[in-house]
Chains A and B, each alone.
Chain A
Amino acid sequence: MSGLSGNRRRAGRQTAALAAFLLVQSLAAVFFISDALTDLIEGFITPHLIIEGLVAVALAAGLVFGTVALRRTIEQMNAQAAALQAARGALAEVIEAQFADWGLTPAERDVAMLALKGLDVAEIASLRSAAQGTVRAQLSRVYTKAGVTGRAQFAAHFVEDLLAEGVPGQ
């Protein structure tokens, strides 16, 4: 999960850089367009003005294209975030259903979920304000009900689901 949010951060930096570039482009466009307009008002149609006008038009067009491109990038990022959210929701549903299937008690479900998220016994105990021995006992009951030998196999059970069927829920 840290890899995915790292991806998002990187994408955020990329769009920020694109936006900064867009700003520089706008500065250039405003400068050139105002300059060309001023010459036009003063009424000198010269080759210089024509070229200046072309540059102004190109800059303005580039600005619009840059805007649209940046919009697309941002929308793509948002769509990815939404898909990730949906996948997370779907995975949570799969896990809940499996827990119910194994007949875990509410307390065991909580502990099992925290264990799946990568917390160790001490952390789970302090989160649930329970003794470490209690958590350890609950975890071993979870492993027994799930028919696995330990935490690695327990986590692998759900990863295997994901790998076999792809990400459900789209």
Chain B
Amino acid sequence: MTSGRETSGTTPPDLWDPVVRISHWGLAAVVLLNAVLTKGGSLIHVWIGWVGLTLLALRLVWGLFGPAEARFSAFPPNPRAAIGHLRDLVARRPRPYRSHNPAGALMVYLLWALLAVVIGTGVAMTGTTPLGAVERQVAIESADWSTLDLGESDREGRKALEEVHEVAANLILFLVFLHVAGVLVEGRLMRRNLVRPMLTGDRRDTSTRKGRPV
């Protein structure tokens, strides 16, 4: 009796929910700003990093308590399925998934993990509260180096943290490049716009014609 039920369950949403969209574009902006525009260690760099931490935390909470297609259970990390999906793509027979496809899901988890590494090392270097960075800045400006003086072993540890911070950040940039390329290729092969659901959606509303008075 009920037709038209096939809209839910087998295809990704026409429009991702606002939390997914905000965290996606927010984190994209954070990565872009801190990788390209701000100076490492500067106050603005640290604060943007804290915003990144917030966005990541919000998205992870959303992955536990959010709607079905945003929850981790909708896109479990599964490397074998990811390879299977890539093979489907090469064969030009990609299957639709209700959330991120397995390759995209793997990308998502990799990016989150690397973001956590970058943010974690950043916090380890600049203090466990955003105010710590402000205090440091004040100390530097008033030329009071006493609070900033590091011992020999501290300096070694800091070097290692810096190294990890930079390597992970560069990996993120590389993955972002792969991610954008993947979206473009898959969008072309599947003949569907994968970007619009992450922006404003509104695909279905334009297909129904406006009724008008008789």
- On whether the two chains bind one another, the answer is yes
Interface residues of A (CB under 8 A from B): 1-2, 5, 8-9, 12, 15-16, 18-20, 22-23, 26-27, 29-31, 34-35, 37-38, 41, 63-64, 67-68, 70-71, 74-75, 78, 81-82, 85-86, 88-90, 92-93, 117-119, 151-152, 155, 168-170
Chain B 57-81: CB-based contact to A (< 8 A → 1; otherwise 0): 1100110011110000000000000
Interface-side segment among B94-102, B109-117, B179-187, B203-211: B203-211
B7 near A82: Cβ-Cβ < 8 Å: yes
A16 near B18: Cβ-Cβ < 8 Å: yes
Would A90 and B1 be within 8 Å (CB), given that A1-B211, A35-B131, A64-B61 are in contact?
yes
Q: List 15 A-B contacts (CB under 8 A).
A: A1-B209, A5-B205, A16-B18, A23-B22, A23-B55, A26-B57, A27-B51, A30-B50, A38-B127, A38-B132, A74-B17, A75-B67, A92-B3, A117-B209, A117-B211
Which residues of chain B (15-72) have a CB below 8 Å from chain A? 15, 17-19, 22, 26, 50-51, 53-55, 57-58, 61-62, 65-68
What chain B residues lie within 8 Å of A8 (beta carbons)? Answer: 205
What chain B residues lie within 8 Å of A1 (beta carbons)? Answer: 208-211
Is B151 an interface position by the 8 A CB rule?
Answer: no
Interface secondary structure of A, over-half rule: helix
What chain B residues lie within 8 Å of A38 (beta carbons)? Answer: 127-129, 132
A152 near B214: Cβ-Cβ < 8 Å: yes
Would A90 and B54 be within 8 Å (CB), given that A20-B22, A117-B211 are in contact?
no
Closest CB of chain A to B77's CB: distance in Å?
22
CA distance A47 to B3 in the complex (A): 62
Contacting B65 at CB < 8 Å: which of A68, A82, A89, A168? A68
Is B5 an interface position by the 8 A CB rule?
Answer: yes
Taking CB as reference atom, which chain A residue is nearest B127? A38
What chain A residues lie within 8 Å of B1 (beta carbons)? Answer: 90, 93, 168-169
Q: 9 additional contacts, CB 8 Å, given A1-B209, A86-B4?
A: A19-B18, A26-B58, A26-B61, A31-B50, A31-B130, A34-B50, A34-B130, A35-B129, A90-B1
CA distance A90 to B176 in the complex (A): 45
Interface residues of B (CB under 8 A from A): 1-5, 7-8, 15, 17-19, 22, 26, 50-51, 53-55, 57-58, 61-62, 65-68, 127-132, 205, 208-214
Closest CB of chain B to A35's CB: distance in Å?
5
A71 near B61: Cβ-Cβ < 8 Å: no
What chain B residues lie within 8 Å of A70 (beta carbons)? Answer: 19, 66
What chain B residues lie within 8 Å of A12 (beta carbons)? Answer: 15
What chain B residues lie within 8 Å of A92 (beta carbons)? Answer: 3
CA distance A118 to B212 in the complex (A): 5
What chain B residues lie within 8 Å of A67 (beta carbons)? Answer: 19, 61-62, 65-66
A85 near B65: Cβ-Cβ < 8 Å: no
- 7 nearest A-B pairs in the assembled complex, by CB-CB distance: A19-B18, A89-B4, A89-B3, A118-B212, A16-B18, A38-B129, A26-B58
What chain A residues lie within 8 Å of B205 (beta carbons)? Answer: 5, 8-9
B208 near A5: Cβ-Cβ < 8 Å: yes
